[in-house]
Chains A and B, each alone.
Chain A
Amino acid sequence: MENILEQIALCVEKGKINQSVLYPPDMRGEPGVDELTLKALELGISPPDLLSKGLIVGMERIGVKFRENQVFIPQVLMSAKAMNCAMRHLKKYFVDGTVSHKGKLIIGTVEGDLHDIGKNLVSMIAEGNGYEVIDLGVDVSAEKFITAVRENPDAYVGMSALLTTTMINMMKINKAIKDEFPKVITFVGGAPLNSDFAKKIGADYYTEEPQALVEILDYLVTN
């Protein structure tokens, strides 16, 4: 049983979706996370174990490798795609309560900014690490963030910006959220940002890369 969970973790880490895809070249012809997830369920492995000891392990590994510059965005995206494929088989267990998410993350690129790759990367890695992600997309207004928080008061909020001009909107949105929901914890990220800026606008955390955000989330949900 541990062997198949390790195989699943490896498939997620390497972005091996299913047997027919040719990526990665060194796993051609081998079963992917699609087949292995079904097989694990047939073998009686519990969905929570499959998630925590297989899929999430693979996503954690790729997140750490990304932070250490051992892999790059395309590889992370392939891992996320493999993860999503497995999650389709687990969807009914989330619905019936057999498995649950670690927490919720509302995420969006702030108003005026249409860039989504950083936001997507965080979204996929958080999701792959067991969080329910409510992705509001790009060009997201303060009102949209607040509506999402109102509907999900226990959620964390992540805001992304790539443009120096939209960083200012991040300040406005963070303030609007904190004014109405002072206890909601906010994260900011994006190429032009730094921790000083996060402090200045009153955001709780700035993270430079997605795995750091996941590690903070993991700490927050367990403490």
Chain B
Amino acid sequence: MNVNNWIENIIQSPMRYAIPIMTHPGIELLRKTVKGAVQNGEIHAQAIKALSDKYPSKASTVIMDLTVEAEAFGCKISFPENDMPHVIGNLVDASNVETLEVPSLTAGRVPQYLKANRLAAEMISDRPVFAGAIGPFSLAGRLFGMSEIMISCYLETEIVELLLEKCTQFLLSYCIELKQTGCGGIIIAEPAAGLLSNDDCMQFSSVYVKQIIEAVQDEQFMIVLHNCGNTGQCTNAMLHTKAKAYHFGNAINMVQTLEQCPDDVLVMGNINPVGILQMMTPTEVESQTESLLEDTARFSNFVLSTGCDVPPNVDTKNIQAFYNALSKYNQKH
């Protein structure tokens, strides 16, 4: 697939499209557990396929699991039956970053995730499948401890930069391999960088993300840079990476963000996956989605999405309401 043409078609089209970051409802459709899906590439791929059969998303997305890469490095992971896995404890501190080994792509669940992406790309032919990977700063935070890394950015900058280089080295090889699976691109999730100022986001995240993007992004393959922590302060640092698409969370003002982003990149967001999709009624979900679509109507590069991964246990009526709002909007405009 030529992603440049795909993006251009979206921008030129009078229609508005949706790409929610959504896999859990697919797992539920299959009556499988989250634990099963994050450990088994086949279940994972079937969940993505089930959703692509049911909903008219412009692209399919894999599970936003931010523990896969940390597990590959050696972090202990807890696997709840029906929630996302979590990293337990810190793997490194300032004393042992230097000896930390960059893992191979056979470590942990990496092979299962590569398999999930390959199978999903084989099974879904009517739209691109976007793989997922954690961003370098978010990964470094998982290995070092989030509070600890934020302080060490200032007090032990060289150690943090060394850790970021190791994370980037691993992510780079992972992203190159993901590209071989047939996916149309990767959503790089870098939420922890959204907790930083623009300058810090640039120094500790964007320069590393940019290295990955420069290595894998081309006419056939795109990066969507997701940062749901950004409240607007570090959008410029995100844009520095030159991704072909940017994905924002519900903490940001979507109209202001669209004004800030170039009109030749896709800008996605930002229906609150918990506060709206999970907790509101279908009528309220539809109304909130309609409001976002109306507010962003003048931006042809806007793609309707959720602000982050849709969590488990969202009523399918609410997902349908999200798409109903899109459909009504497209009929009206």
Q: Check B120 for interface membership: any CB of A closer than 8 A.
A: no
Chain A interface, DSSP helix/strand/loop, else mixed = loop
Q: Check B324 for interface membership: any CB of A closer than 8 A.
A: no
A24 to B87, CA, bound (A): 31
Which of B87, B155, B195, B311 sits near A72, CB closer than 8 Å? B195
Q: Which residue on chain A has the smallest CB distance to residue B278?
A: A164
Contact B195 A74 (CB under 8 A): yes
**Chain A 119-160 per-residue mask, 1 if CB under 8 angstroms from chain B, else 0:** 010000000000000000000000000000000000000000
Q: Check A23 for interface membership: any CB of B closer than 8 A.
A: yes
Contacts of B233 in A (CB 8 A): 69, 72
Contact A192 B80 (CB under 8 A): no
Q: Which of B151-208 contact A (CB under 8 A)?
A: 151, 153-155, 195-197, 200
Q: Which of A34-42, A110-118, A171-179 interfaces with chain B?
A: A110-118
Contact B155 A165 (CB under 8 A): no
Q: Check A71 for interface membership: any CB of B closer than 8 A.
A: yes
Q: Check B39 for interface membership: any CB of A closer than 8 A.
A: no
Q: Check B136 for interface membership: any CB of A closer than 8 A.
A: no
Contact B83 A165 (CB under 8 A): yes
Q: Which of B281-333 contact A (CB under 8 A)?
A: 311-313
Q: Check A81 for interface membership: any CB of B closer than 8 A.
A: yes
Q: Check A163 for interface membership: any CB of B closer than 8 A.
A: yes
Q: Check A194 for interface membership: any CB of B closer than 8 A.
A: yes
Chain B interface, DSSP helix/strand/loop, else mixed = mixed
Contact A164 B150 (CB under 8 A): no
User: Which of B153, B154, B312, B313 neighbours the largest number of chain A CB atoms within 10 Å of its CB?
Assistant: B154
Q: How far is the CB of B106 from chain A (nearest CB, A)?
A: 27
Contacts of A78 in B (CB 8 A): 151, 154
Contact A74 B196 (CB under 8 A): yes
Contact A74 B80 (CB under 8 A): no
A116-B147, A163-B83 known; A192 and B197 CB under 8 Å?
Answer: no
Q: Check A216 for interface membership: any CB of B closer than 8 A.
A: no
Interface residues of B, count at CB 8 A = 29
Q: Check A73 for interface membership: any CB of B closer than 8 A.
A: yes
Contact B82 A192 (CB under 8 A): no
Which of B88, B195, B312 sits near A73, CB closer than 8 Å? B195
Contact B196 A165 (CB under 8 A): no
A77-B147, A114-B78 known; A164 and B88 CB under 8 Å?
Answer: no
A49 to B311, CA, bound (A): 49
Interface size class of A (residues with CB under 8 A): 20 to 34
Q: Check B146 for interface membership: any CB of A closer than 8 A.
A: yes
Contact B86 A23 (CB under 8 A): no
Contact B153 A74 (CB under 8 A): yes
**Chain B 65-88 per-residue mask, 1 if CB under 8 angstroms from chain A, else 0:** 000000000000010101110111
Contacts of A77 in B (CB 8 A): 147, 150-151
Q: Check A21 for interface membership: any CB of B closer than 8 A.
A: yes
Q: How far is the CB of B20 from chain A (nearest CB, A)?
A: 16
Q: Check B231 for interface membership: any CB of A closer than 8 A.
A: yes
Contacts of A163 in B (CB 8 A): 83-84
Contact A72 B200 (CB under 8 A): yes
Which of B155, B195, B197 sits near A23, CB closer than 8 Å? B155
Q: How far is the CB of B229 from chain A (nearest CB, A)?
A: 9
Contact A192 B275 (CB under 8 A): yes
Which of A21, A114, A117, A196 sits near B155, CB closer than 8 Å? A21
A116 to B88, CA, bound (A): 11
Q: Which residue on chain B has the smallest CB distance to residue A114?
A: B86
Q: Check B92 for interface membership: any CB of A closer than 8 A.
A: no
Q: How far is the CB of A81 from chain B (nearest CB, A)?
A: 6
Q: Which residue on chain A has the smallest CB distance to residue B84?
A: A163
A88 to B200, CA, bound (A): 30
Contact B147 A120 (CB under 8 A): yes
Q: Which residue on chain B has the smallest CB distance to residue A197?
A: B279
Which of B154, B312, B313 sits near A74, CB closer than 8 Å? B154
Q: How far is the CB of B156 from chain A (nearest CB, A)?
A: 10
A69 to B275, CA, bound (A): 22
17 A–B contacts from the bound complex (CB under 8 Å): A72-B195, A72-B197, A72-B200, A73-B196, A74-B150, A74-B154, A77-B151, A81-B151, A112-B80, A112-B83, A114-B88, A117-B147, A117-B195, A164-B311, A164-B313, A191-B274, A194-B275
Known A-B contacts: A163-B84, A164-B313, A165-B312. Give 19 more (CB < 8 A).
A21-B155, A24-B154, A72-B200, A73-B195, A74-B150, A74-B151, A74-B195, A77-B151, A78-B151, A78-B154, A81-B151, A112-B80, A112-B83, A114-B78, A116-B146, A117-B146, A117-B195, A191-B274, A194-B275
